[in-house]
Chain A
């Protein structure tokens, strides 16, 4: 596993998402030289999004209910101010009944998810049964913690297993913590108040789904880095059910 170095990072702690980091990775050496050479001759520089880091500035949420979990995410991927993908599904499969929600740097998050997917497959063959959600979360945590200086991605791991039922784990910065629900990404800051106020223990599956959709809709309307469509995944004993809710079908709230 080779992880490349970061040159600089302005990580502002205390924010819901690591997406506030303002680091721009240098573009490939060829385009750097080209930019310097033609600086005085060329009036139109290359587009900003070629040299900006690609992030899933995002909103992600996962919530437990009795018998499973519901995960939700928006679908916007930005490079600087450009939206490079407006329909990306940030709910990534780790195993049949274990999913993770990606946020932060798109490359880092996807790579972690792929690595853990592989490790989990090997692990589940070794033990001969479906892996536990806690195992998946621990694998994600191990990578996040070991490479915490180089990586900037936050994954929320959620799923169902027969031993613990529905579980949601947070792996921010390399910690591992189980929570009844979790929000993450840059858009999560705006909905902390809403989820604190609206969450109740022992909600039904449909209530959880509505809660997730409402939260995503509110965050997407306030956060510039979140938007597009809402993806929902409901995991229970029977399996995982994916759903996509288009932008115009999302609930609307009072708009000034």
Chain B
């Protein structure tokens, strides 16, 4: 399987089919930029909003921040179908598990469920997922489950095709101990930079902050995104 997260096009044997436009033959991909940041008391997650089939933007207002449970979200990148299917499966498994336990599930549990599925079906799937949320035991946590199915907890994580361009920005601008507002600002800037450089990322920037109190969602429209002076 491809080892890189970009808007890949799986060409089928009948790719010269004239009855269907070219973009309908391409795989739908959330070539994307996603990120998540831990802070003391919760997490901030963000994503762009573009879904592409080849060069056509199938959805310019996609919501890639998917709730898995009350305080646990996942950010999806890679094939739209694969990530939706995996997220639905994990949502079901986690809901069931939480009822059995009779208490809110742990973020680590959700992340491991993603990992098990992504690892078992690693040859068939093209899914890069960031799982983030809050639980009573460890507070805000971010776990990244990239393609291939590994899992690692990180204070800050970026993913998707646009993530390559913001590694430098993330390394230089992330500081441990940021507040929620600082994290939101950091995410907005990083997403804006990635959306500017990556053709497969764009649209609006969707953000969410998850804390013990609950969820707070924000949308930063295209014209409100920070602009940077560059060449």
Chain A contact residues, CB within 8 Å of chain B: 14, 179-182, 189-201, 214-215, 218-219, 221-222, 253-256
Contact = CB atoms under 8 A, between A and B. Distances in A.
B41 to A, nearest CB: 20
8 contacts: A191-B169, A193-B167, A193-B197, A197-B193, A200-B229, A222-B167, A254-B175, A256-B156
A253 B194 CA distance: 20
B165 A199 contact: no
B102 to A, nearest CB: 35
A253 to B, nearest CB: 4
B170 to A, nearest CB: 8
A222 B156 CA distance: 15
A113 to B, nearest CB: 23
Given A199-B231, A254-B172, 19 more contacts: A14-B199, A179-B231, A190-B165, A190-B168, A191-B167, A191-B169, A193-B165, A193-B193, A194-B169, A196-B197, A197-B193, A200-B229, A201-B229, A218-B171, A219-B168, A222-B167, A222-B171, A256-B154, A256-B156
Nearest to B200: A14
Interface residues of B, number: 27
Given A254-B175, A256-B154, A256-B155, A190 B193 contact: no
B167 A196 contact: no
B190 interface: yes
Given A192-B197, A193-B193, A254-B176, A199 B169 contact: no
Contacts of A189: 164-165
Interface string B138-170: 000000000000000011100000001111111
Contact of A193 (B154, B155, B169, B176): B169
B27 interface: no
B63 interface: no
Given A193-B190, A196-B193, A197-B189, A215 B230 contact: no
Interface in B205-231: 228-231
Contacts of A215: 168
Contacts of B164: 189-190
Interface string B165-202: 11111111111100000000000011001101101000
Interface of B: 154-156, 164-176, 189-190, 193-194, 196-197, 199, 228-231
B183 to A, nearest CB: 14
Given A182-B231, A192-B197, A218 B165 contact: no
B175 A218 contact: no
A191 B229 contact: no
Contact of B230 (A195, A221, A253): A195
A253 B197 CA distance: 23
Given A182-B231, A197-B189, A197-B193, A192 B171 contact: no
Nearest to A190: B167
A158 to B, nearest CB: 13
A128 B200 CA distance: 50
Contacts of B231: 179-182, 199
Contact of B168 (A193, A199, A201): A193
A222 B164 CA distance: 9
B48 to A, nearest CB: 13
A219 B76 CA distance: 26
A194 B168 contact: yes
A254 B165 contact: no
Q: Identify the 5 closest CB pairs spanning chains A and B, nearest first.
A: A194-B168, A191-B168, A193-B166, A193-B169, A193-B193
